[in-house]
Amino acid sequence: MTPHQDTTTVAGTVTGTVFTIAANIDSQDFSKTVILACVGAVASFIVSLILKRIWKYLSE
């Protein structure tokens, strides 16, 4: 059973966070932030895949 989430609250929170961050960083910092966010997302995805394979290997 999954808990019900109010999508309006989630969307409002995410949008507010994005606009607050965007208003507080300079244009040079913005490009660096976007690049670092992409690198972090890729690294997180790769680590998740590796851990999934390790977990599958250990559970056999």
Both structure tokens of 3: 């808990």
pLDDT of residue 2 exceeding 70, the answer is no
Mean pLDDT of the chain: 84
pLDDT value of position 24? 76
Measured CA to CA, the distance from residue 36 to residue 30 in angstroms comes to 10
pLDDT value of position 41? 94
Q: Tokens 């056999």 map to which residue?
A: 60
**Which tens digits make up the pLDDT trace of 23-36?**
777 777 778 888 99
pLDDT of residue 3 exceeding 70, the answer is no
| Over residues 49-58, mean pLDDT | 94
Per-domain boundaries in the chain? 27-60
